A = this chain, B = another copy of it.
Amino acid sequence: MAQEHDRGAAPDLVERRVERGQRRGDRYVRIVRPRQFTRRGPGHLVATEGILAPRTPLGRLADRVRRGLFGERIATEREIHERIGVFKGLAVFASDNISSSAYATEEIMRVLVLAGAGALLLTMPITIVIVAVLAIVVASYQQTIRAYPNGGGSYIVASDNLGPVAGLTAAGALLTDYVLTVSVSIAAGVAALTSIAPGLFEHRVLLGVAFVVLLGIGNLRGIRESATIFSIPTYVYLVSIFGLLAFGLYRLLTGDLPAYEPPAGWRPVEGAEALGLLLILRAFASGSVALTGTEAVSNGVPAFKPPEWKHAQLVLILMGVFFGSIFLGMSLLAGRIGILPDPSEQQTVVSQLTAVLVGDGSPYHYLVQVATALLLVLAANTAFADFPRLSSILARDGFMPRQFAYRGDRLAFSIGIVVLAVLAIVLILAFEGSVTNLIPLYTVGVFVAFTLSQAGMVRHWWKLRHDEAGWRTRAAFNGVGALATGTVAIIVGIAKFALGAWMVLVLIPVLIAVMWAIQRHYRTVHDALTLERADAPLRVIAPRVVVPVSRFDRAALHALSFARSISRDVVAVHVSDNAEEAAAMRERWDRWGGAIPLAIVESPYRVLIAPLLAYLDALDRQDPGRTTTVVLSEFVPRHLWEYPLHNQSALRLKLRLFFRPNTAVVDVPYHFDAAYSPD
């Protein structure tokens, strides 16, 4: 006869039982301190990096690969040392904006040329208007940076001052635009490359995808490394482009400017489209892509070294000056030289301009193209810094799933980075890597966010009117900004509606609705789970335990032992599709003679789970409201490849039980190596 070692009530533990409110010091008696922890106070431990050390050879290899790809771990306290100054800040936060000078002129020309080559004369005036708007935006954002030193993204400014709907509108617009920033910048970068290496043109989609993946990996490494990588191309671009423009202006002033001779077949049909107001507005809308990226600086204020706001303001001004000069110079020279955009998109306008000025295929031509390509590909990094940051703020406010607020061990918001990369790749695939196809979706979101942010700032100054002396001037600055960007938003929306802006204008409300629903869900759950009484009591009721048993073996005995250890009310259930097998099981069970009753359930339809669930339902009816605990014995094999050979039924059962009310599931893994000695 078997011996049952019944320590069920564990008398030694009962003695140590801590009564509520009494012997409070004993509370921490049972809290052990693991070796890799330091003690900060009673029952309060701090983990060290030691706990993350891999223990198996394979784990050490994986860890080394991870560190190689993503860098060393960074403790939260060290975050301030990861901050950046003006030099790196310009590279990180302004590269998006500055890089758009590589395609802004071209996108204006591509629209104007539809009305014939003569219409290209309008390129320069449109450029001047856009640069003027940029100046207004930069001036307006100076105030935002000062007022929101913790990051004055449009979402925060708009929700702070205009309420949650405005905030979510700005957030939806920005999230959309960050994804587009990645797709457009990468597509333009690839175009800069294919301008000097036409053989790559047919692989442009693949190249774009590869660049996005590289950027994603780089960003998972964290912010400082990003800055180091990204400063180089930004400054190479600035130097080489200013050199080119200076050379061009010198030749213009000396009357030595060459004329562009387009290949046969490129000449556009004169007046294929009338040079109407809509066409001019479309050209303006296409060129206003130049303003994207301005948000990045005000959003990223906390990433600067202290004093954060001063560094950020300086970066914003430098950005505006650099970008404006390049844009104006580029449009001027392209007009004077008489560049015609390549209808097949194989060569960019910058490449044509450079080729005419310094010679096609000359080393300087290559330098400009490679620098442009690198800057553009890396400019997408601005979005890789901002999308996860905004997502994490939204997640903290409950508008996005909580995972987005979780920082990886490199201080990067890992999930945001991955989601951004995936979405950008989808866009590149869907629009076949063409900048001109993607542009109409871009910018409308940016200007919606701009407008809400500036309008929010006006409200902000109005609220501070009693404390802030110069509030009128400040409000005026932002008011002009709101007016200008609002006008542009409407122009872009109308001019590009049919070309693709409608997708964004549909997507933004959808995003708002989804974020709203997520927040409502989290709030409802939070409220429903909140305990009203601080001293809510525990409900201690011995559970009713069911142990499905397929074969009476060590693993089953292990599970039955566990079940019996947690409750005296245990029943084993054996589901069989075969009467003979069922009889053998009964016989075996009776021979065992343990104190646990066995129910045999024959299932003529060979299903395993349904009869078990029906049995649990019957138990529920017998004693309603009591928790049913199902103890599952899971076999853990020694090797991973062996896993699919086991536990398939347990897995399916767990999935079904998860949704069953009042049911707890216990996994009792039986490890192959764990020799269960029956005595």
| Listed stretches A197-205, A352-360, A629-637; interface member | A629-637
In the complex, the answer to whether B536 meets A555 with C-beta atoms within 8 Å is no
In the complex, the answer to whether A29 meets B597 with C-beta atoms within 8 Å is yes
Q: Does A255 belong to the interface (CB within 8 Å)?
A: no
Q: Does A537 belong to the interface (CB within 8 Å)?
A: yes
Q: Does A336 belong to the interface (CB within 8 Å)?
A: no
- Checking B7, B14, B540, B571 against A564 with a beta-carbon cut-off of 8 angstroms, the contacting residue is B540
Instruction: Type the 1/0 row for A620-635, where 1 means its CB is closer than 8 Å to any CB of B.
Output: 0010000101000011
In the complex, the answer to whether A561 meets B539 with C-beta atoms within 8 Å is yes
Contact residues of A between 31 and 65, Cβ < 8 Å to B: 31-37, 40, 43-47, 49, 51-52
> Who on chain B is nearest to A567 by CB?
B566
| Listed stretches A18-26, A155-163, A279-287, A372-380; interface member | A18-26
In the complex, the answer to whether A529 meets B555 with C-beta atoms within 8 Å is yes
In the complex, the answer to whether A607 meets B409 with C-beta atoms within 8 Å is yes
| Listed stretches A130-138, A228-236, A292-300, A671-679; interface member | A671-679
Q: Does A270 belong to the interface (CB within 8 Å)?
A: no
| Listed stretches A242-250, A503-511, A658-666; interface member | A658-666
- Checking B46, B614, B622, B672 against A602 with a beta-carbon cut-off of 8 angstroms, the contacting residue is B46
Q: Does A473 belong to the interface (CB within 8 Å)?
A: no
Q: A530-B554, A538-B561 are in contact. Are A1 and B20 (CB under 8 A)?
A: yes
Instruction: Type the 1/0 row for A92-124, where 1 means its CB is closer than 8 Å to any CB of B.
Output: 000000000000000000000000000000000
| Alpha-carbon distance A34/B33, docked complex (angstroms) | 49
Contact partners of A598 in chain B: CB under 8 A? 27, 43
| Alpha-carbon distance A601/B629, docked complex (angstroms) | 29
Q: Does A594 belong to the interface (CB within 8 Å)?
A: yes
Instruction: Type the 1/0 row for A531-574, where 1 means its CB is closer than 8 Å to any CB of B.
Output: 11111111111110000000111110100111011111101000
In the complex, the answer to whether A606 meets B51 with C-beta atoms within 8 Å is no
Instruction: Type the 1/0 row for A393-409, where 1 means its CB is closer than 8 Å to any CB of B.
Output: 00000000111001111
Contact partners of A272 in chain B: CB under 8 A? none
In the complex, the answer to whether A20 meets B47 with C-beta atoms within 8 Å is no
| Alpha-carbon distance A644/B521, docked complex (angstroms) | 12
Q: Does A266 belong to the interface (CB within 8 Å)?
A: no
In the complex, the answer to whether B542 meets A529 with C-beta atoms within 8 Å is no
Q: Does A30 belong to the interface (CB within 8 Å)?
A: yes
Q: Does A73 belong to the interface (CB within 8 Å)?
A: yes
> Who on chain B is nearest to A585 by CB?
B44
In the complex, the answer to whether A562 meets B664 with C-beta atoms within 8 Å is yes
Contact partners of A629 in chain B: CB under 8 A? 566, 666
- Checking B52, B571, B596, B665 against A666 with a beta-carbon cut-off of 8 angstroms, the contacting residue is B665
| 5 pairs, A vs B, C-beta closer than 8 Å | A31-B571, A46-B603, A51-B610, A534-B588, A543-B562
Known A-B contacts: A13-B542, A75-B605. Give 12 more (CB < 8 A).
A20-B594, A28-B597, A34-B615, A34-B618, A45-B600, A46-B604, A47-B601, A51-B610, A402-B648, A525-B672, A531-B557, A565-B566
Which 7 A-B residue pairs are closest in the complex by CB-CB distance?
A34-B618, A566-B566, A10-B542, A536-B678, A2-B537, A529-B553, A2-B535
